[in-house]
Structures are given as structure tokens and as C-alpha cells.
A and B are shown apart, each in its own frame.
Chain A
Amino acid sequence: MTTEIPETARPRLLKGVRTRFDKARDTWLLLAPERTLELDAVAAAILAEVDGVRSFGEVIDTLAAKYDAPRERISADVRTFLSSLVERRMLEIDVP
């Protein structure tokens, strides 16, 4: 299941869900109620741009420019990952 995310919608991590770098395991993590997700490089890069202010479209633009990758591919990656966080009640998409 992939949630429809309009380009103008603003994704944000819910309160009580946060990233942190873990020195003991040498990796980025997403901490949430009773959950710990190990973030790979792609996931960490996406969440670094999700600030609750910028829109989904802006997040994709930023990542496409930063990693010099096709916009369609970035868009698909971001959509899949953010949808999985929505399903787990870790992220909300504010539709204007």
C-alpha cells in the first residue's frame, strides 16, 4: 500500500518520533514508541530533508539536486519510504 502524497503536502515526523545518530552501533536510527528503525543512507538522507515546513515536492527537488539523480526515481523512493512511516504512525502528511 502506497499512500498518495500530493507535491504540495508537507510531511512531518510526529512528536515522539525522532532520528539520532548512535555511536554504539555507528548508524542513524529512527526512534519511535517501542520501535527502533535502523536507517540506511537513503532513508537517512530523506529524513534529513523532512522538517514539517518544506513540501513533498521541495524535498524531492532538494534530494534530486543534492544526489544528482532523476526526479522520478527520487520521487518514487521518497514516496515509498514516507508511506511506510505513515502506516506505522510515525509520520503525518499535512495536506494544505
Chain B
Amino acid sequence: MTQVSAPRAGPRIQVPMAMLAELTHRCPLACPYCSNPVDLVRRSGELSTQEWVDVFQQAADLGVLHLHLSGGEPAARHDLEELVAASTGAELYSNLITSGVGLTEARLEKLAANGLDHVQLSLQGVDHETADLYGGYKGGFDRKIAVAGWTVKLGLPLTINAVMHRHNLSTLDLMIDLAVNLGARRLEVATVQFHGWAEKNKAALMPTREQVQKAGEMVHAARQRLTGVLVIDYVPADYYATYPKACMGGWASTSLNIAPDGQVLPCHAAPTIPWLTFDNVRQRPLKEIWTHSEAFNAFRGDEWMQEPCRSCARKAVDFGGCRCQAMALAGDAAATDPACSKSPLHADLLAAAEAASSTRDADLTYRRMPALKQPARTHNA
């Protein structure tokens, strides 16, 4: 018997559909539910223009169709116009995921001329007060409304991305109206997912069960009423759901993320699973990473599953839910997502969510870059 054995046939590796390129973690906003990791990458660590251009071509060669240009705020990159042109050159469908802050009409015209396909604009609320409070940026709301106008004027498809939580979920109907009035073709109603910065703000942001139920009804009614006017995609609050979300459409099956420093991640929260190791496009070709990276193969297919997932009829529907949420809440990334009603931890999770949702006066921790040196007593941004 030899030490070396033939590799076991693993799960089928699919062709990825989409790549999220987090061009930078720099952002003028400070949303307390930002999905970026708590350890943000600094400007000095970001990939160069040429490195991104090369990654886009590698992604296209791998079969990626949709390129999501995100951040942080992607407009904080002065080479955004060049990056959009490179995406067009690689025949990728480009989607700019932006807060709107940092865009001007001239810049947007240039992006459109360079082949930008779609603009996805975040709104933190339906008025100045809420939007600027939760965005942590005064004047942000007005800028966003202007960007929506320029986008529609250019004929580009506009998606409004509304992140909803306890303090704005009751205004969902107004958000839907606002999206229609702004000329959006699509609205993404994303209930806060408690990863990254949002995890720190659970008590302040957790919606109530009643709010979540009403929101579901509002979305259902609006979809009927607005067929052919507005497409609505809805990410519900999974803590109150019966079954977990089909996170990422299955780990490492349809999409991948590139962090600002070139780290290649199966999803943006994957680094919260401490034992995973990640490859970097600076060291390894993208195709090799997609196919062989330890992090990507960790939860491909269903071999890694435990009970109750392993024998569950829904395992090919929701893939056991979210691995990062299983890590955070069950302490085991291969466990059933506690958002699933079949998880032994579900009852505790539900009770904790309900308790969090009735917290009064919880402080918000806003997203921010860490201080450069040892925390100074003054001028500490």
C-alpha cells in the first residue's frame, strides 16, 4: 500500500456565472450593517489597475458572465472608468454597485460611454433623515437622488438597493413608491444579514417578527401591482424563516468574490471561518483557484454535510443554508444553518432574535477603517 492515493472524485465543478470585484474598501459612507469584513483592506493593499484588468479577463475566460463592481465605494477608485472599459473589452456584463457618492454626471456619462451595463444604487432610507443617519453621511440622500436621475437620463437600467432593518422596514411601501418614481426597473429589498458590521449591531437593527411578516405581504402585493413596471427581488430576514437562505446558490457553485487585495473568496464573509485558507490572484491563476482552492472545495457538493442536512430532502434546494452563519451561531461551519427550523439551535436563535428586536436605545457601531497606528488620543478618524 502506498502513501499516495488517487484523488477521490470530488463534486462537479460548475462554470461560475458571476464575480463580485470589491475594488476598494474605502467608502464615504459608514453604514452600520456593511457586509465588508470588520478587518478592512487599506488603499495601499489594493490591486492595481493592471491587476484588475488581468483578473477581469481571467474571469471571462473562466466563463463568468456578470461582473459586479463593488466596494466599499467603487467610485473611490480613480481608475473606475478604465476598469469598466476593461470589463466591456472582456465581454462581461458590468454592474456598478454604488452608494452614488463620488459620482458626477460627467463621470457617469464616461462610464456609460465605456460600456457600463447597469447601475445598482443603495438607498438607506426614504428621506434625508433616515438615509443620512444610517448611511452615516450628511447630504448623501440628495446625492443619491441626483445619481438616480442621471442614470435614468442616460437610459441605463437602474436598480435601487434598499437595505431594510427595524428602523426602516415599516416604510417599505414608501421605498417601493420611491423606486418607481425614480424610474428604477428593479428594486432589491435586502433585509440586513447579520454578518460583518451588522453582527455588531444586531440589537439595534434586528427587525420584529411582525415587521418581517408585513414586509413579505407588502412585497407580494407590490409584485402583483407593479408587474412590467418594477422587478422586486427580496432577501427576507432569515432568522424568522422556516428554511434557511440558499446562500450563494450553493458554496463555490455559481459565483466568487475578489477582495480589494486580490484574495479570492467563495463569499464575502468566508474569512469569518477561521480554518479556511484563501488564495490570491497575485499568486495563482483564477481558474486554478476556482478549481483547486481549499476554501472553494471545503463546502462544494454535499459530502461535508452533517445531520439533519445530510438526509434532508431540501439539501439540494438550500444547501444547508449559510456556512458563515453556521460558523457564527453554531460554532461549526459544517453545521446546519441555525436559521433552519430543523436545526437544534433554531429555537434559541428565534428567542435571541425576538429579544434583540425588542431592545430599546441600542447604540450603533458605524463601519470605519481601523486607525493607522496605535490608537492616538486626538485626531483619531
Chain B contact patch, size range: 20 to 34
Q: Is the CB of B231 within 8 A of A29?
A: no
Interchain nearest-CB distance for B93 vs A (Å): 5
Among the listed stretches A18-26, A41-49, A59-67, A73-81, which one makes contact with chain B, having 4 or more residues with CB under 8 Å of it?
A18-26
Q: Is the CB of A33 within 8 A of B159?
A: yes
Q: How far is the CA of A27 from the CA of B226 in the complex (A)?
A: 31
Q: Is the CB of B91 within 8 A of A34?
A: no
Contact partners of B233 in chain A: CB under 8 A: 34
Is B81 among interface residues, defined by CB-CB distance under 8 A? no
Q: Is the CB of A31 within 8 A of B231?
A: no
Is B186 among interface residues, defined by CB-CB distance under 8 A? yes
Q: List 24 A-B contacts (CB under 8 A).
A: A1-B227, A16-B157, A17-B157, A24-B63, A25-B15, A29-B65, A31-B65, A31-B66, A32-B157, A33-B95, A33-B117, A33-B159, A33-B186, A34-B95, A34-B118, A34-B186, A34-B188, A36-B17, A87-B227, A87-B228, A89-B157, A89-B228, A89-B230, A89-B231
Contact partners of A3 in chain B: CB under 8 A: 228
Q: How far is the CA of A16 from the CA of B95 in the complex (A)?
A: 10
Q: Name A92's closest neighbour in chain B (CB-CB).
A: B228
Interchain nearest-CB distance for B181 vs A (Å): 16
Contact partners of B77 in chain A: CB under 8 A: none
Q: Is the CB of A88 within 8 A of B231?
A: yes
Is B353 among interface residues, defined by CB-CB distance under 8 A? no
Q: Give 7 closest A-B pairs by Cβ, nearest first.
A: A24-B63, A16-B157, A89-B185, A15-B155, A33-B118, A31-B93, A33-B157
Q: How far is the CA of A88 from the CA of B227 in the complex (A)?
A: 8
Interchain nearest-CB distance for B233 vs A (Å): 7
Which of B15, B91, B155, B186 lies in contact with A89, CB distance below 8 A?
B186
With contacts A34-B186, A89-B185, A89-B229 taken as known, whether A14 is within 8 angstroms of B65 at the C-beta atoms is no
Is A86 among interface residues, defined by CB-CB distance under 8 A? yes
Contact partners of A20 in chain B: CB under 8 A: 91
Q: Is the CB of B229 within 8 A of A36?
A: no
Q: Is the CB of A36 within 8 A of B65?
A: yes
With contacts A15-B156, A15-B157, A34-B159 taken as known, whether A25 is within 8 angstroms of B63 at the C-beta atoms is yes
Q: Name A1's closest neighbour in chain B (CB-CB).
A: B227
Q: How far is the CA of A22 from the CA of B62 in the complex (A)?
A: 11
Interchain nearest-CB distance for A86 vs B (Å): 5
Q: How far is the CA of A53 from the CA of B323 in the complex (A)?
A: 49
Contact partners of A89 in chain B: CB under 8 A: 157, 185-186, 228-231
Besides the known contacts A24-B63, A31-B117, A34-B66, 8 further A-B residue pairs in the complex with CB atoms under 8 A apart: A16-B117, A16-B157, A18-B117, A20-B91, A25-B63, A34-B159, A87-B228, A89-B157
With contacts A15-B156, A31-B93, A33-B95 taken as known, whether A86 is within 8 angstroms of B118 at the C-beta atoms is no
Q: How far is the CA of A33 from the CA of B93 in the complex (A)?
A: 9
Interchain nearest-CB distance for B220 vs A (Å): 16
Q: Name A17's closest neighbour in chain B (CB-CB).
A: B157
Interchain nearest-CB distance for B63 vs A (Å): 3
